[in-house]
Amino acid sequence: MVTTSNQATNLVGLSRADYRGAASTLCQGCGHNSIAAQIVAACYEMNLVPEKVVKFSGIGCSSKSPTYFLGRSFAFNGLHGRMPSLALGALFADRTLEAIAVSGDGDTASIGFGQFKHLVRRNLPLVYIIENNGVYGLTKGQFSATAEKGLELKHQGTNPFLPVDLAMEALISNATFVARSFAGDPKQVKELIKAAIAHQGIAVLDIISPCVTFHNHENSFHSYSFGKTHEEPLHEISLVLARDEITVEDFERGTTREVTMFDGSTVVLKKLESEYDPTDKMQALNKLQEAADNNWLLTGLLYVDPNVPILFDKYNIPETPLNRLANEKLRPSSEVLDAINNSMF
Amino acid sequence: MESELIEKQAMIENDFCITFSTINGSGSATANITLMRALFRMGIPVSGKNIFPSNIQGQPTWFTLRVSKKGYLGRVKDDDIVVAMNPASLEKDIAALVPNGVMLVPDDLTFPELRDDIIVYKMPVRKLLKETNVSPAFRDYIANMMYVGVLASLLKIDITLIHAALEYHFKGSQKAVESNFEAVKLAFDWAEANLEKRDRYITAPMNGTEGYIMTDGNTAAALGSIFGGVQFLSWYPITPATSLAETLHDSLPKYRQDPETGKDTFAIVQAEDELAAIGMAIGAGWGGLRAMTSTSGPGLSLMTEYVGLAYYAEVPVVIWDVQRVGPSTGMPTRTSQGDLTMVNFMSHGDSQMLILIPGTIQECFEFGWRSFDIAERFQTPVIVLSDLDFGMNQWMTAKFEYPDAPMDRGKVLWEKDLDQLLEKNGGVWGRYLDIDGDGIPYRTLPGNQHPRSGHFVRGTSHDEFAGYTEDGDTWVANFGRIKKKIELARESLPEPVVQLREGAEVGIIASGSVDSAVVEACDLLSEEGNNVDYLRIRGIPFNKAIKQFILDHRVTYVVELNRDGQLSQLLTMDFPDVAYKLRKVAHMDGLPLPAKWITEQIRKSEEN
């Protein structure tokens, strides 16, 4: 890749510019833009090769954002709520690809609820980012299923229903990596994306991403002011690449818990909570319930199990991408057909 | 001597229809297929149609076995012989018999004497069962074998071939073969000793099945797909398409493991619903895999939005629609050709899908592989319209033929190809750029490491370089190119099959599984001195030869199994200037059309 010499480059010789996408067409100040910027930073720091990354999204404001990062990567912007099935089929073509998917709360918690949960259940290796703002933005402000009870909107009045908690939904569908973050906390967002990339199976990141235009009421879970004042980080998190040993020393062992990811890298959790163990699913569920009861925006890595076999481990497919198999591997010989004909009555 | 001759002339040899009326879940399928196979081995052309309820156990079910020395495989409306094992449907079964028809019935089954023009044979099923040492759990299954034995005696079916059929069916389970055959033999011996033959139906060995095999359309489609190099199947269970996917589950590991690596060259996913099944298949098709799904009406409705995306984003995918009766849940276990207009325009907005319609079981196999070539060549969804009659019934068919053309993977660029193209084309390539002027662009596949290969595919409006745009002129140009590409496909799809007869002024157009009935109807009309020509459509959009066929005939009847005459509707739209020559011959009651019904409709219309 051609990079100018005065720019910093990563281990694969690329500069940050190589990870950028087109200019955003979302509203000024949209949380989604901040997330796109952190995806760029995370991919740069994780030394991903853009040509080895494939991006997916559904429909909605969130689903536009793959345009705004990794402009050199392949991408498919599918149907509303049905990105999971599209991604699953596509990744069978080349299992060596890194996949980053961006969805929204309408896309994931409503129309695509079924596909989301089934994707999680299958443990497809995919970073699944939900840019969660509790509102339908492109259709100019209707409640989504993650909107809190009691919120007021112009046309619909008061929201009478309790919200869907996507982190909880992911957990009970046996997700192998579940995190929640806040778009206004770029450092945590970036570190969680890096950890998600390092995770071998599905990584669900529910990122509260305030809608500046339709849903930024001060008392709302999905607003900047709420996030800034109610965010309760579980722990500070850093991803340490396997080959990058120096930073490990920066952490005080006594206050951290390390989780070794499948690729050999380590997620280091600096615990603010006394005994939070992100490998304990029941504790994660309890924490989420406690947070909901107390109106906290609980952020951090809620749960991870790095050792669960991924979808492709359940198949007898080669490491060689299926889409590069030669035609002669795909059509049995005429002798085989003769045998089939002869085996018929 | 003379009386013996008359007697012999009166016999009806190898040309009749038996209906087995049973209770579903009672194991009659084994008995019925065994008889059918024995007749097939005798060299007599046979066809079998299962008319069954959407139910697991306890409801009436019928199996109709047609024996036809002329090789006709279509359904016949009236029964020559009824094997009445189900008290619940007795009256209906008796009414379906032709005059001098035959009824076989267990001797403990009472029924009203509705007709005096039929011949009744009572079978001592219960008594014979007692003579076997079969466990009570298998009584029902074995009871059905009794009528096999009685029929073998009455119709002179070679009993050793029944044994051979059982051996094939139970594949190596000698115990099952022998316990079933014991029941057949017991009933056969009883009939030989006790039944005086009073009816006219008889079989005799002939040479009508050489070179043929017996199978069903779903199996044929699955095997054809395997030889087409299918790499990805995503599906959701639905009658009558389920057995297509399940045959792939069974057969792909057998035929498509790489002998060098021991690895599979395919993947199958049973999806959570049809919305996901099509999404997965389109994802895989975009990824460059030969991808397919199989479904029926309700599933097809769910797939519509994604198919529209694949049409517009130009993603190859193959969809098998094994048609059943709709709309809605309709008649899930009955056959129809009712999805034609729906799949033709399978999207909101302007669209035109490429459709293949196999008219024989051999073509189910052929279109199994050919559909992938067409989908990848034109970078678009291909829908293959089969139906329940093909998919779930046993047919005798010519042996499957090995593909006569190498795989056509279409315009795919890997790293070196893209380099070469860029060099040739002044450094310009775009996913939707029409470089060759045929409307078909070049595509790169995910995983291609060339820095120029990546692009953003979407269902939203895009330009030649796959960039988002809402510019109207760009939309018109790009959408016009897609239309051009689809028009090109018109003459590339399997051409119509035409059967001409001397002096014919009248034509028949049909497609799909009604072929067997139309072929017979043409012969019947010829026998009456009214030659008709027959054109069978195998692909949509229509080949131009179809218009010429319509022009060449005074009138053309379009025969199909639906209410509204959907094929006729599409022909009318595509060839409006000759549409006045078309006559709709359409009917749909869930059963395959009988040839006689077709001839009656045509005769009636011609008389008017």
Q: Give the pairing type, strands B79-84 and B97-106.
A: parallel
- Token pair for B506: 């009248």
User: Which residues in chain B have Cβ-Cβ distances shorter than 8 Å to A120?
Assistant: none
Report pLDDT for A5: 54
A 235-294 near B (Cβ less than 8 A): none
CATH class of A16-237+273-307: alpha beta
Cβ-defined contact of A97 to B290 (cutoff 8 Å): no
**Residue B392 pLDDT level (bands cut at 50, 70, 90):** very high
Contact B234 A74 (CB under 8 A): no
Of B109-113, B300-304, B499-503, the range with the lowest mean pLDDT is B109-113
Q: Which has the higher per-residue pLDDT, B431 or A3?
A: B431
Residues A115-127 pLDDT 10s: 999 999 999 999 9
Section B466-494 average pLDDT: 97
A13 in contact with B at a CB cutoff of 8 Å?
no
Residue type, A141: G
- Which of A79, A116, A122 is the mutation pick for testing B, counting most B CBs within 10 A? A79
Q: What is the mean pLDDT of chain A?
A: 87
Q: CB distance A90–B286 less than 8 Å?
A: yes
Q: Which residues contact B283 (CB under 8 A, 6 or more apart)?
A: A76, A78, A85, A86, A87, A88, A89, A90, A91, A92, B291
The ranges of chain B annotated as CATH 3.40.50.970 are 215-398
Return d(Cα B420, Cα A166) in angstroms, integer.
48
What is the CATH code for B10-209?
3.40.920.10
What is the pLDDT at residue A275? 66
Q: Which residues of chain B are in CATH 3.40.920.10 domains?
A: 10-209
Under an 8 A CB cutoff, do A91 and B278 touch? Answer: no
Predicted local distance difference test score (pLDDT) of residue A228: 77
Give the closest residue to A184 by CA, choosing from A140, A230, A135: A230
Residues in A touching B400 (Cβ below 8 Å) = 337, 340-341
CA distance B90 to chain A (A): 33
How big is the A-B interface in CB pairs under 8 Å?
205
Using alpha carbons only, give the angle B256, B260, B261 rounded to the nearest 5 degrees.
80
As a CATH number, domain B497-607 is 3.40.50.920
Name residue, tokens 């992100």.
Answer: A278
Element (H, E) at B260: none
Cβ contacts of A317 on chain B, cutoff 8 Å: 263-264, 267
- Assess if CATH 3.40.50.970 describes domain B215-398: yes
Q: Look at residue B1 and tell me whether its pLDDT is greater than 80.
A: no
CB-based burial label for B78 (10 Å; 0-12, 13-18, 19+): middle
| C-alpha–C-alpha distance, residues A320 and A328, integer Å | 15
Q: Which has the higher per-residue pLDDT, A225 or B365?
A: B365
What pLDDT score does B26 carry? 79
Q: Which chain B residues are Cβ-neighbours of A54 within 8 angstroms?
A: 446
A43/B contact by beta carbon, under 8 A: no
Where exactly does CATH 3.40.50.920 map onto chain B? 497-607
Lowest-pLDDT choice from A216-220, A255-259, B19-23:
A255-259
Q: Where are the domains of chain A?
A: 16-237+273-307
* Confidence tier at B2 by pLDDT (50, 70, 90): very low
Chain B: residue nearest A77 by CA? B458
Chain B residues in contact with A57 by the CB 8 A cut-off are: none
Report the chain B residue with the minimal C-alpha distance to residue A344. B213
Residue B6 has pLDDT above 50, yes or no: no
The model's pLDDT over B125-144, given as tens digits with 9 standing for 90+, comes to 999 998 887 787 788 788 89
Nearest 5°: phi and psi at B78?
-95, 155
Average pLDDT on B302-310 reads 98
Residue type for position B271: A
Q: Are A89 and B447 in contact (CB < 8 Å)?
A: no
Q: Is the pLDDT of residue B45 over 50?
A: yes
Partner residue opposite A85 with nearest CB, options B165, B280, B403: B280
What is the pLDDT of chain B when averaged over all its residues? 95
Contacts of A67 in chain B (CB under 8 A): 456, 468
Position B9 scores a pLDDT of: 55
Residue B546: per-residue pLDDT: 98
Determine what percent of chain A is predicted with pLDDT higher than 70. Answer: 87
